[in-house]
Structure 1
């Protein structure tokens, strides 16, 4: 009998890239049958675009009525779980990248084994939630997340494993998004209202970016921020705004930019797959000494938009001094073994299931 493993896709599209490579790798193995459960035809179509051989079995869950359905606006996760918990409970093994599914533990008749693949590799405290402790196995990108989950009592030495960062296997190639050869700056604000540089400072940030006529600028906010704020618009010819597209989630921009400008988004670690200059905005004057801001050591941190142009002018000259610390932070955050992360994650899942049998 094949091992049945279900991947639960009830989050927005950016999370797909963190579990899809492992799902495809498992589906290539003759002893495994892999299904994908989603309430969205749009999401199943995106997943299918990476599965031309049809190895994954798509399962369309019941979608809550009158709920949004696009890559970046999905039905309520809790409502989806309530409507479909009996169907989901029939799956002996469930893999997911989001924490809402921890609520399944409290639903009648639910006894499936639950595996969490932690998406992203960021530092903010919001990346560590109570729900992490509900999973039988958690797979993280690097030792940093393993260490922090265990220290917070959200996992143990036995059930938190390092599996690398499979999103790198689906990353887009470097692309030209502008017609000239000016350097490209990527501005990637986060959605956390307490930490985001855009929510409280959008007008001053935009004014500074529009003044950077020696740069091309891509503004690509975290997809959750893009759904929570009015559309960001600019008529400046050197600015490209993306409020949510495939480019904004498949590493097209992090691969194509020359400099990263952000606040607390974990995408800085995707950008640093190749060490390059970074500038961080601390416009609310946070104490940057805490672990939640440890990535601010990887580049210049500035506390006013007046300081942006001078920071950009210094960036290339200072980069040699940041390269070693960037590489060390990447090794801690994302374990880049020569063995592909998808294969490592698949092996970890099957080893766990064999031990739990």
Structure 2
């Protein structure tokens, strides 16, 4: 029987099509929740690597049937060309989407955490599959509100801030979105703290982004590591965005800029008070944002995960941004902003304890960014929103014939 027969179960795929694992926890917790919420639907998983598939399985409820897993891979030649171009263009992601179009058309909807999948709508603007988007983070960068988001059929959001900015940008409509909370918080709620150092000195997390314009790494990175190497008052976690060290040549489509990323001097890794992690699972599971006492960074959305418990933060304006009053830098109101490193030592000494104005700014921004419902976890809220959008039969509703 054809897949579009009215008697066939509806098929919803959760599509993971990125190099790294930092997007997985944003939608993977919804998979089992949707199985419970819409038991007549076929909930399936589509990944582009074995690592992704393994990571997704960690979030599945073992009491439920294991969803079908599909693997999409780019042509081998695409990987070679991408490598020759310095990995600056996500050719393999686009290749995987293009080569898998026939598979995607068998689904009624795809739930995705990134925008590359809008390629499917640009090249095949049919009703099948519907694209349901949940952004992988709740940050402030302008790219989070880009015009291509208009191509999504439905958008799930972590809170009012993202909704308001998307509505103002015209990339969502009043009738095609739902605020559901932040499944990543739910995913790691029970993780025990990790002890990374053999002392109780304050821990600073340096968390630069990968964007070649916005990232502080290119201008300040080695100086920051050198500063912490030569002092004994703080421990340092250096855990940049996982994409910073996946490529030697970093490209910003948004800002049309290319930069070569410098290497890390091996001497820093040998120091007991410096912990370096350029891309393990701890970089994406909130281990470091939970462990740190002070945040040091630029534009990463991880600052919003850090301020779940208000704490001191310092920001680095390495690209001479005119940030005051700019919504793309709202998080820079959470702590002092440095235009150079001459004041880093003083800022570290003065930022603790957290002052009332910065605490109030963090608390207010967190509440605006994340909608917390004590009675319903985000995964359940998201599953209900998906089921209602797709008119899927739910346990408290009669089965549709």
Q: Pick the TM interval, shorter chain.
A: over 0.9
Aligned to 1:320: 356
Counterpart Cα distance in 1 of 2:382 and 2:231: 43
Aligned to 2:51: 42
Counterpart Cα distance in 2 of 1:218 and 1:88: 41
Q: Secondary structure at the match of 1:192?
A: coil
1:40–1:63 Cα contact (<8 Å) kept = no
2:210–2:241 Cα contact (<8 Å) kept = yes
Aligned length: 354
Alignment counterpart, residue 244 of structure 1, candidates 252, 273, 279: 279
Bigger mean CA deviation after superposition, 73-82 or 282-291:
73-82
Bigger Rg over Cα? 2
For each residue in 1:280-313, what CA deviation from the matched residue of structure 2 results, as whole angstroms up to 9, or x when unmatched? 1113331111111110111111122121111111
When the two chains are superposed, the root-mean-square deviation of aligned CA atoms in Å is 2.2
For each residue in 1:182-214, what CA deviation from the matched residue of structure 2 results, as whole angstroms up to 9, or x when unmatched? 111111001111111102222322222323321
Aligned to 2:367: 331
Aligned to 1:297: 333
Q: Secondary structure at the match of 1:217?
A: strand
Q: TM-score, normalised by structure 2?
A: 0.83
Aligned to 1:138: 155
Alignment counterpart, residue 193 of structure 1, candidates 197, 208, 212: 212
Alignment counterpart, residue 107 of structure 2, candidates 85, 91, 108: 91
Aligned to 2:143: 126
Unaligned runs of 5+ in 1: none
Aligned to 2:10: 3
1:165 aligns with 2:182: yes
Counterpart Cα distance in 1 of 2:125 and 2:311: 51
For each residue in 1:21-62, what CA deviation from the matched residue of structure 2 results, as whole angstroms up to 9, or x when unmatched? 111211234233211111212211121233262532211123
1:13 aligns with 2:29: no
Unaligned runs of 5+ in 2: 1-7, 81-86, 248-260, 393-399
Counterpart Cα distance in 2 of 1:175 and 1:193: 31
2:334–2:361 Cα contact (<8 Å) kept = yes
2:214–2:318 Cα contact (<8 Å) kept = no
Counterpart Cα distance in 1 of 2:163 and 2:36: 28
Q: Secondary structure at the match of 2:385?
A: helix
2:44–2:69 Cα contact (<8 Å) kept = yes
Q: State the 1:230 CA deviation.
A: 4.3
1:258 aligns with 2:293: yes
1:208–1:305 Cα contact (<8 Å) kept = no
Q: State the 1:320 CA deviation.
A: 3.1
Counterpart Cα distance in 2 of 1:341 and 1:332: 16
Q: TM-score, normalised by structure 1?
A: 0.93
